[in-house]
Amino acid sequence: GTLYMCLGREDAADLREPLRASEGNELVAEAVDAAIARKPKGHDFVIGRNKAPATGRFMSTTGG
C-alpha cells in the first residue's frame, strides 16, 4: 500500500488505489514514477543530541 520516498521523512505515495483500479501495472508504474519525481535529492539523518528524529516511524512500519 504505501511507498515512502525516504526513510527519514513522512512523504509517501499511496499505491493501493492504483493497484485496485487496474488489471495491469500501468497505473502503479505511473504512481511510482510520480513518487520518485517528488523524492528529495538528499537525506537529513543528522540528529543532534537530545533532539527528536525526523520521523517517528519505525523501520518495521516502513517495511525494512
What DSSP string runs through 18-29? HHHH-SSSHHHH
Domain count, the chain: 1
Q: Phi and psi at residue 22, in whole multiples of 5°? A: -145, 160
User: Within 10 Å of residue 56's Cβ, how many Cβ atoms?
Assistant: 8
Q: Residue-wise pLDDT tens for the chain (64 aa)?
A: 888 877 777 788 999 999 999 888 999 999 999 998 988 777 766 666 777 666 666 777 766 5
Give the domain range for residue 17: 2-62
